[in-house]
A and B are shown apart, each in its own frame.
Chain A
Amino acid sequence: MIAFVLRRLTLAVPSLLVAAVTIFVLMRVVPGDPALLFIGDLENQQAITEMRERLGLGKPLAQQFLVWLEQMARGDLGSSIATGEPVSRLLLDAFPITAQVVLIATAVTSLLAIPGGILAAWRQNTKTDAAILTGASLSQSIPGFWMALTLILVFGVELGWLPTVGHVSFADSPHGWLRHLLLPVAALVLTQISTLTRMTRSSTIEVLRLDYITHARAKGLTEAAVLYRHALRNAFAPVLTVLGLMLGHLLGGVVVIETMFALPGLGRLLVDAIFQRDYPVVQGCMLFIAVIYTVVNLLVDLLYPLFDPRVRLE
């Protein structure tokens, strides 16, 4: 397994390099001048020129790229043009907030969607199945921002039960942390639950039709044992793939949820940096997201054999 992990990590290097070149070139192709945005409404051409020089924006593109690569090789992601903070610190501040929301939401989604999908498959074409499918379709058809607004209106504005904005760290106040996370997590769960429910349902239906399930029932096993011990293990591989893709996508930043609940996570950091043409931050964020995808996919690959013994890591 170690050899597999090492091989996968080695293979990830060229992918990350291609990502780095693409990100760098794309940001430079998009019009806009970071120095101009930094100086803002002050008429100071000299300051703009000085800043461009300081940022090295006048140098040839290839030279700028090499400088960035050299910094990266030293483990230095550079500093934000807008605030002067090191990009690594910005990532370390923003990512845990995104990760908290996403990991909790994904766990809750899995806890609800997987049993829900199995139940729907088991009770296929019954009222229970129809109810679960209708709920899933409804959740899939509601845009994330609308879901978030509805939750804010109901639980924040009308009932006044929960705060609608901000984030409190667990260390400062566990109670405040929980209260501030409830609505964003709920919004994310409600927008993600349908995909996982549907995937679990369809893959479980396929497995439930197989002969070995009939054999298990004929042995006199309880339905719970048939479903959870025999059906789920075989039906779980495609669900795990979707879960991995979902996690990788969400950990890269949930911009809508972060914006609606004023959470300073990775998605907002990236979007703000794009609007400000904060090249080092955009480059750092994008590369970090590429690394997240690589790691999450690797973890998913490592988990396959646990659920499906037919899969071997070679």
Chain B
Amino acid sequence: MPSNKSWIHVKSVAALGVLLVALIVLLPALSGCQRESRGKTLRVSLASDIRSTQFGVNRDENTDTVLHHVVEGLVAYREDLTVGPLLAESWEVSEDGRSYTFTLRPGLRFHNGQVVTASDVKWSWEYLLNPRNRWLCRNWYDGTGETGIRIQKIETLDEQTVRFELTEPNYLFLARMAHMVCLCGIIHRDSLDAHGNWIMPIGTGPYRIVRWNRRKSIELERFADYQPLPGARDGYAGRREAFFDRIEFLVIPDASVAEFALLSGSIDIAPKMPAEVLPALARRKDVVPVLQPTLNWNVLLLQNEDPMLSDARMRRAIAHAINREQVAQNATQGLAHANGSAVFPGSRYDSEFQRRVPEYDPSKARQLIREAVYAGQPIRLQVNRQFQLDYSSAIIVAEMLRQIGLHVELEVLDWATQLKNYNTGNYQMMSIGFSARPDPTLMFDIFIGDRKKRSNVVFSDPAVVVKLRRSGLVTDPVVRQRLFDEIHAAADADSSLIGLFNHTILDAVRADIINYSSWPLARPRFWGVSRQMTEGGEQ
């Protein structure tokens, strides 16, 4: 028997040995072409798959990011948040401010080789504005939306010129048209089938879609006939020159997985990484962190219809109890500074008035809650864990409020539940982040408005609502500045919204990728980006 046992033992060990040797031999052999064909393809992580190729119909931020490389509008935002030309060479606004005449750049072509004409612009806009096509931003232009823009007529003047007529002048028309969320893309008619059903966008962008592996990846190919604007890359406007033959967006939902994929060279760029990974990335030579302050804004909402928080003294007490700079620094690993205003620091409408917020003064806060006869009732602060900055801000804010004697309880919800509560006003306090809106009117519009129409607004003073509407109609920057300062002062005194900080986003990039940068609207762009030349001369 011992001999049999030994025989089996030897066989098992031998089999295990063969397996291990095979594995050791196999793995490096398999790895042979891991980095094959990396040179001409840029690989980028995408936190979720695109929802569709129908811009503005079924979209989210990732969808927009991809489609902005494929489809272009007449105008686009520059990095300084002004509106610049894209397909339009120039435009003129009539004296009464109601008509906008755009002249197209000569020689523009769609991905199918057809020349772009003014009638394509008219057709594209009419397609978008047709209720049957369910474009989600139709209300921005049909007079039913908050900013009241209404397009009365679109007409072609010649092959290169198209005119939009509005029912009344509105400063926000170009701002809306350039808005990155609702791409007003000019597409060829063949983007639809004979029955008018959507196939795929035939746009004018520097890349076109060649393959969509749902839930895995989406591949774009360089459009050889693309004619970039002269000058430098500038936000979504400016020079859009494609250096990579292909861009492959890989769906990687988890940030840690994206980080490892970047470190292993499986991807070249991992946009919007959590701030926590910065120290680890900064230690490496093969990865470069790219930091960019953005317009995304974290705030604390106070429900002023709540029996306790309807008392303005309670809201002011909370405003005085929060050290905003400390919240900004600690929640973002020192990457952001406090901003209590909807106006982005450094924007053309930033002013000394916009920087005025209730000073951090715990003793004043304690005095105010005594005056309000606060009896220690619990106050629930709603937050989610999907967006880390909302959560980390909430933890710090809750602790600061406990320091002045408020009984604050964190209520951690999933994002879907919190969003519903935000939309219905079903909360006492809420820590939430707002995505970037390029114009201050649009940013203030998030929380100021008629509560009878929108239950998610927190400030409904009719006089302030009128001022906000006016800020979207007037064109004079001086008048707009005055209006924004007055709106901020009123909102600040009300303290139903306590602005905390603007996000600084972190994009992680392989060191051999050159000329990648971010911008205040925080949408990644991959035109103008290239790979460092190797010794063999290949990109």
Residues of A at the B interface (CB closer than 8 Å) are 30-33, 36-47, 50, 82-85, 93-94, 115, 119, 122-123, 128, 149, 152-153, 155-157, 159-167, 175, 178-179, 182, 217, 222-224, 227, 259-262, 264, 268-269, 272, 275-277
Contact = CB atoms under 8 A, between A and B. Distances in A.
Contact of A46 (B144, B251, B413): B144
Contact of A157 (B27, B264, B454): B264
Nearest to B457: A43
B416 A156 contact: no
Contact of A175 (B4, B30, B264, B421): B30
Given A43-B445, A156-B261, A165-B257, 20 more contacts: A32-B414, A33-B416, A36-B419, A39-B136, A43-B446, A47-B139, A50-B134, A83-B49, A85-B214, A94-B215, A152-B257, A156-B260, A160-B265, A161-B28, A162-B27, A163-B264, A164-B266, A178-B30, A217-B1, A264-B215
Given A42-B181, A224-B4, A224-B8, A32 B417 contact: yes
Contacts of B421: 31
B454 A31 contact: no
Nearest to B60: A40
Contacts of B130: none
Given A46-B139, A164-B257, A223-B5, A41 B435 contact: yes
B264 A164 contact: yes
27 contacts: A31-B420, A32-B419, A36-B419, A38-B58, A41-B435, A44-B139, A47-B134, A128-B9, A149-B260, A156-B264, A159-B27, A159-B31, A161-B34, A162-B30, A162-B31, A164-B264, A165-B257, A165-B258, A182-B27, A182-B30, A224-B4, A259-B254, A262-B252, A262-B257, A268-B253, A269-B215, A275-B415
Contacts of A272: 48, 253
Contact of B216 (A82, A128, A149, A264): A264
B58 A155 contact: no
B420 A264 contact: no
Contacts of B254: 259-260, 262
Interface string B144-160: 11100000000000000
Contact of A42 (B9, B182, B267): B182
Contact of B251 (A43, A83, A163, A262): A262
Interface in B226-262: 250-254, 256-258, 260-261
Interface string B395-437: 0000000000000000001111101110100000000001100
Nearest to B48: A272
Contacts of A163: 34, 264, 266
Nearest to B415: A275
Contact of A47 (B51, B136, B146, B446): B136
A50 B146 CA distance: 18
A269 B434 CA distance: 27
A264 B423 contact: no
A40 B59 contact: yes
Contacts of B392: none
Nearest to B16: A112
A175 B31 CA distance: 10
Given A82-B51, A152-B260, A31 B417 contact: yes
Interface of B: 1, 4-5, 7-9, 12, 27-28, 30-31, 33-34, 48-49, 51-52, 58-60, 134, 136-137, 139, 144-146, 181-182, 214-217, 250-254, 256-258, 260-261, 263-267, 386, 413-417, 419-421, 423, 434-435, 445-446, 453-454
Contacts of B415: 275
Interface centre among B28, B146, B250, B419 (most CB of A within 10 A): B419
A160 B34 contact: yes
B9 A165 contact: no
Nearest to B267: A165
Contacts of B31: 159-162, 179
A131 to B, nearest CB: 11
Given A43-B146, A45-B453, A160-B31, A275 B414 contact: yes
Nearest to A115: B12
Contacts of A82: 51, 58
Contacts of A222: 4
Given A31-B416, A128-B9, A163-B266, A259 B257 contact: yes
Nearest to A89: B214
A27 to B, nearest CB: 11
A157 B215 CA distance: 24
Contacts of B217: 166
Contact of A41 (B181, B215, B260): B181
A163 B51 CA distance: 26
A43 B253 CA distance: 26
Contacts of A149: 256, 260
A157 B445 CA distance: 46
Contacts of A166: 216-217, 250, 266
Contacts of A84: 52, 58
B224 to A, nearest CB: 25
B419 A119 contact: no
Contacts of B434: 41
What are the 10 A-B residue pairs with the smallest beta carbon separation, nearest first?
A32-B416, A264-B215, A161-B31, A223-B4, A156-B264, A31-B417, A262-B252, A165-B261, A157-B264, A161-B27
A141 to B, nearest CB: 21
Contact of A152 (B59, B264, B423, B446): B264
A182 B52 CA distance: 31
Contacts of A276: 416
B44 to A, nearest CB: 12
Given A157-B263, A160-B264, A277 B416 contact: yes
Contacts of A43: 145-146, 445-446, 454
B215 A44 contact: no
Contacts of A39: 136
A94 B182 CA distance: 30
B422 to A, nearest CB: 9
Contact of B136 (A44, A164, A264): A44
B215 A179 contact: no
A262 B420 contact: no
A259 B253 contact: yes
A115 to B, nearest CB: 7
A117 B419 CA distance: 51
B26 to A, nearest CB: 9
A41 B217 CA distance: 24
B294 to A, nearest CB: 14
A224 to B, nearest CB: 6
Interface centre among B8, B34, B250, B423 (most CB of A within 10 A): B8
